[in-house]
Amino acid sequence: MLYKVFVDDSGMKDYNAPYSRDFKDNPPAFEGNEQFWRENYFVLCGVRIKQSDIGIIDAAVRTLKIACFGTADVEIKSTWLRIPDKRKKHYLDPYGITVEQLNKFGDDLHDLIAQNADKMKVIGVVFDKRYYGDAKRATGDGNPFLKTTQIMLERINYAGNINVVTFDQFESSLSLEKGAHNKIRGIFTNNLGMETKFSESYENIVDVDFKKSCDENFLQIADICAYNIHRQFTVYGREWCGDRVSADGKKQMETYDYFEKIRCNFHANAQGNVRGCGLTCVPDVNKVNWNFHQNCPIQ
């Protein structure tokens, strides 16, 4: 059975803050430190779909675009949907639509993703930069982009069947020999000398390629899901580790509204666990098995 996996990223690939033990032992609050937390997390997100389901879902996305913009030839980016001046530049002015119409489109697109939770599975990998000192940062295993790529390929391989992985274009051309594309291919073929956690090779992945997001609706969906994961960790990433405890001693984690919308889409293993399978944070300090699929339809 053939699956296609579409991968995009969210957040800053590079380190922008010096290592400090206090950032992990006594992390600052989100309020007043939003920029630090936005830069701290890097996310790679894959949307995995059975080849036979692609046509129907793609047609549904095109229908939503036509209803809002009058054409299906519109690129959807999370930043363009959220930031006021980009909304105006890319959507409101060119297509003569209102803020309310654009907001409805965003909600409808999230609803479409959620309605296809049994067909579109999300695999997210989050890199928490606070835990990496100067020596580790100089290695491939301490590089946010390279490490999340390796773990993404491992999780796709672990999902089984046959997979073709398409990354959003990270360079000025689609060449496989340039920059990030060459490094991704290097991880796919030999792990670039990085520490192997689970997969020496990726026998369930037959190819890794690259495509412009403007030409692929599912890369645009991956971008939307990547941002939702990034936003979830920016605000609630410390809770992922189980730092927040209720009065009855139970660990708690709040969720960002649009992360909540795609919660049931996360890939899970045979035991129903999402952590370390459909959503991985490196490092995973306390390994809390959050019940992401609570109250989700049986899949």
pLDDT tens digits for 110-166? 999 999 999 999 999 999 999 999 999 999 999 999 999 999 999 999 999 999 999
pLDDT higher than threshold 80 for residue 246: no
Supply the pLDDT for residue 176.
Answer: 64
pLDDT confidence band for 299 (50 / 70 / 90): low
Please compute the mean of the pLDDT values over residues 7-30 and round it to a whole number. Answer: 93
Supply the pLDDT for residue 179.
Answer: 83
pLDDT higher than threshold 90 for residue 267: yes
Radius of gyration of the chain (CA): 19
pLDDT confidence band for 241 (50 / 70 / 90): confident
pTM over 0.85: yes
Average pLDDT, rounded, for the chain: 93
pLDDT confidence band for 39 (50 / 70 / 90): very high
Please compute the mean of the pLDDT values over residues 189-206 and round it to a whole number. Answer: 85
Of 100 and 179, more confident: 100
Of 172 and 42, more confident: 42
pLDDT tens digits for 59-103? 999 999 999 999 999 999 999 999 999 999 999 999 999 999 999
Q: To the nearest whole percent, how much of the chain has pLDDT over 70?
A: 97
pLDDT confidence band for 178 (50 / 70 / 90): low
Please compute the mean of the pLDDT values over residues 219-240 and round it to a whole number. Answer: 96
Q: To the nearest whole percent, how much of the chain has pLDDT over 90?
A: 78
What are the tokens at 154?
Answer: 């491992």
Q: Is the peptide bond before 283 cis (omega within 30 degrees of 0)?
A: yes
